[in-house]
Structure 1
Amino acid sequence: MRPEMLTAVSALAVAVVTAAGGTVTTVIGRRQPRRPRGAERRDDFTAVTDKLGEHIARLEREAEQDRQQAEHDRARIGAQDFALRYIAAWARSLVTYMREQRLEPPPPPQPIPDEVRPYLHDISS
């Protein structure tokens, strides 16, 4: 090979390597800036942690509302229990008064539901 040919081939090789380097540099330059390695994982962990924190806060609010509702229900049931005991005692006193006057009180409605029977001790059926 003649020296001119060798010079031309080496110039062509340098041109190809330069073009490839320019292309690679252009492609890398157009990409979004890279974050440090593991940054995506940290961001995912932060997002998941935030979502879990929101979910836990919502569950705590719901649990507190449920506790308040249960307390309200217990108070209401206690008041209803007191009212029913008062009415039952009043009915018993009326029955006692009628029997003292030698009157027969009317029979309770039949049949007595099984759910009520444990609370009505003085009614035989």
Structure 2
Amino acid sequence: MNAETWTALSGGVVGVVSAGVTAWGARSARRTKRQESRDDFLAITTQQGNAIERLEARVQRQETEAEKQRQRIGDQDEAIGWLLYRVRSLVSHIKKAGMEPPAAEPMSEQAARYIRNIDA
């Protein structure tokens, strides 16, 4: 055999070996169904974890806002109580002076649910 034949033969062998290595690499790079399922499970649990964290943060914000609203309503309730006391004491003072207080303006139904039995 001459040098050209050896070169051609070695090039062919290198080509066949390269094709075999490429095929083996491609086969080993494929993922099994179990690997895909595991990765899908991990991705889903990660997404669920993130969604739960977002929901927890939202619930915390809502609880904080609800507490602020409860405090505001409590303060408003106290203010309304003070105003009722003040109106009653003024009406009492006016009546003791022998005068009649002015007639009250009509009250809305919404206000009437919270303010009852006013002497004015």
| Bin for the TM-score computed over the shorter chain | 0.7 to 0.9
> 1:15-94 counterparts in 2 under 5 A?
25=20, 28-29=23-24, 31=26, 33-94=29-90
Q: Which runs of 4+ in 1 moved over 6 A?
A: none
Work out which of the residue numbers 111, 114, 117 in structure 1 matches 2:109: 114
Structure 2 counterpart of 1:47, one-letter code? A
CA radius of gyration, larger in: 1
Residues 45-85 of structure 1 deviation map (CA, whole Å, 9 limit, x = unaligned): 10000000000011011111111111110011000110011
Work out the CA distance in 2 between the residues paired with 1:81 and 1:116: 12
Larger RCO (CA under 8 A, 6+ residues apart): 2
TM-score (norm 2): 0.73
3-state secondary structure, aligned to 1:81: helix
Please identify which structure carries the higher helix content: 2
3-state secondary structure, aligned to 2:104: coil
Q: CA RMSD in A?
A: 2.4
Stretches of structure 2 lacking an aligned partner (at least 5 in a row): 1-15
3-state secondary structure, aligned to 1:97: helix
Quick one: percent identity of the two aligned structures?
Answer: 30
Work out the CA distance in 2 between the residues paired with 1:99 and 1:121: 17
Stretches of structure 1 lacking an aligned partner (at least 5 in a row): 1-21
Aligned residues: 102
TM-score (norm 1): 0.71
Residues 11-70 of structure 1 deviation map (CA, whole Å, 9 limit, x = unaligned): xxxxxxxxxxx6x84773473712344111100110000000000011011111111111
